[in-house]
């Protein structure tokens, strides 16, 4: 493939902290034809195992625990974490709020395009010695198509963070073309470069594939394959925000619990992953935030409902015993954070912030409602 044709003019949306969607469908179809074989592999790999996955999901409903499954601990602070990016506010403001919350698990996003600012990220990690960090290395299309470039940047980030950080999430948004990947095959070749790090960094742990939303085919293909990459923990950004409450259903059957069990069943039959399940990203976007919202306005909720759904989501994941960690995205963000940021940079704690702190302080034993839901709360579909 001609490398001149692959950069796609991907632009970063600083408001919603994600790439802008690819606007021109001709660009998508022009490049999709190169990935046809990967699409076929992904489809048939999933279809071949689907009866076993569905059958095992049914069994999981009766409380069965898969053999050799890494279960969560009993300490809520080992279970509930925060995913952080240092874009909406400065590092010190984030660190101060993390200390106030008492959160221990932090997943820190480090974009490769900010490699010249790596000192900022390392300094932030060092400023929180009591926190356990996972570094999520975010890519552009450049790294997807240039393995040597990716290898150099990956090693540079790992070396600077090591040994303070020993767990790294490889890539972000791998099932969305706006993040630079056009097939699972591209991602698996990209991720396999990270497998080389084990030789020079003994004990390193790699987390992936961290697909977005509830999509079986890219998940299963990325944990059942013939490439080098082996996942020490399977991470997924398991959003359910478009259905309002986690208790609401999609496709008549899949509420959050069933989606969770479905993904656990996929991991049960994985050939290239440990039996560990992390949710690396979840939130509910806040209504009336304009360009700061990461999704369409009908999918957004009021601040009070977002706090209720946060609690429900963590309760369901905790009760399952099958999820080792859940990272909430994120701490400070106008469109979806636990803390709102004003145009002048001032910070305001939302109800979700206080609910997250209450959860960390008291655990999940108290099942009383944290705040009253608004009258426009979404109903089951």
- Domain ranges across the chain: 3-362
The DSSP result for 107-138, as a single string, is EEEEEGGGGGGHHHHHHHHHT-TTSEEEEEEE
Report, as ranges of residue numbers, the positions in the chain whose pLDDT lies below 70: 1-10, 23-34, 367, 369-381
Q: What is the dihedral of CA 59, 62, 66, 72, to 10 degrees?
A: 140
Asked if 337 contacts 331 with a C-beta cutoff of 8 angstroms, the reply is yes
Place of tokens 């409380």: 63
pTM: 0.93
* CA 292 – CA 15 distance, rounded (Å): 5
Contacts of 213 (CB under 8 A, 6+ apart): 175, 237, 238, 239
d(CA 367, CA 381): 25
Residue 348: what are its φ and ψ, rounded to 5°?
-135, 125
Instruction: Enter the tokens of residue 67.
Output: 């053999």
What's the confidence (pLDDT) of residue 237?
A: 97
- SS3 assignment, position 279: strand
Cα separation, 269 vs 309, whole angstroms: 30
Q: What is the per-residue pLDDT for 2?
A: 40
Q: Return d(Cα 334, Cα 291) in angstroms, integer.
A: 10
Angstrom distance (rounded) from CA 40 to CA 349: 47
What is residue 226's predicted lDDT score, i.e. its pLDDT? Answer: 95
Which tokens in the block code for residue 219? 């998940």
CA dihedral 136, 172, 324, 250 (to 10 degrees): 160
Q: Note the pLDDT of residue 148.
A: 97
Q: How far apart are CA 276 and CA 195, in angstroms?
A: 18
The pLDDT, as a whole number, for residue 286 is: 97
In whole angstroms, what is the distance from residue 381 CA to residue 244 CA?
A: 10
8 within 8 A of 22, measured Cβ to Cβ: yes
Domain 3-362 is of which CATH architecture?
Answer: Alpha-Beta Barrel (3.20)
Q: Which residues contact 156 (CB under 8 A, 6 or more apart)?
A: 115, 118
Q: Shortest CA distance to 325 belongs to which of 243, 234, 202?
A: 234
């Amino acid at each position: 493939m001609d490398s001149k044709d692959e950069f796609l003019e991907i632009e970063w949306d600083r408001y919603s902290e994600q790439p802008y969607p690819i606007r021109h469908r001709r660009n998508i179809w022009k490049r999709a034809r190169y990935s046809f074989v990967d699409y076929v592999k992904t489809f048939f790999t999933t279809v071949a195992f689907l009866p076993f996955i569905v059958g095992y999901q049914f069994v999981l409903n009766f409380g069965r625990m898969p053999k050799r499954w890494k279960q969560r601990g009993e300490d809520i602070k080992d279970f509930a974490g925060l995913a952080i990016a240092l874009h909406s506010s400065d590092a010190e403001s984030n660190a101060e709020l993390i200390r106030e919350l008492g959160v221990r698990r932090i997943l820190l996003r480090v974009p490769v395009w900010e490699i010249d600012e790596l000192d900022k990220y390392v300094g932030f990690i060092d400023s929180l010695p009591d926190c356990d960090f996972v570094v999520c290395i975010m890519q552009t299309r450049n790294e997807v198509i240039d393995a040597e470039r990716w290898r150099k940047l990956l090693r540079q980030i790992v070396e600077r963070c090591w040994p303070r950080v020993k767990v790294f999430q490889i890539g972000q948004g791998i099932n969305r073309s706006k993040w630079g990947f056009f097939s699972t095959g591209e991602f698996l070749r990209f991720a396999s470069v990270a497998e080389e790090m084990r030789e020079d960094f003994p004990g390193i742990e790699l987390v992936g594939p961290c697909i977005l939303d509830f999509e079986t085919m890219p998940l299963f293909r990325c944990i059942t394959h013939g490439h080098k990459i082996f996942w020490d923990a399977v991470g997924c950004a398991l959003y359910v925000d478009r259905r309002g409450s986690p208790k609401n259903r999609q496709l008549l059957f899949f509420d959050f619990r069933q989606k969770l069990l479905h993904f656990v069943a996929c991991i049960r039959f994985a050939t290239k992953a440990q039996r560990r399940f992390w949710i690396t990203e979840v939130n509910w976007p806040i209504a009336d935030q304009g360009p700061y919202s990461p999704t369409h306005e009908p999918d957004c909720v009021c601040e009070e409902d977002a706090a209720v759904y946060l609690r429900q989501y963590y309760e369901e994941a905790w009760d399952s015993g099958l999820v080792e960690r859940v990272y909430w995205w994120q701490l400070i963000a106008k469109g979806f954070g636990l803390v709102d940021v004003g145009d002048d940079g001032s910070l305001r704690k939302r109800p979700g912030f206080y609910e997250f702190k209450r959860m960390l302080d008291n655990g999940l034993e108290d099942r009383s409602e944290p705040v009253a839901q608004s009258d426009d709360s979404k109903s089951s579909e």
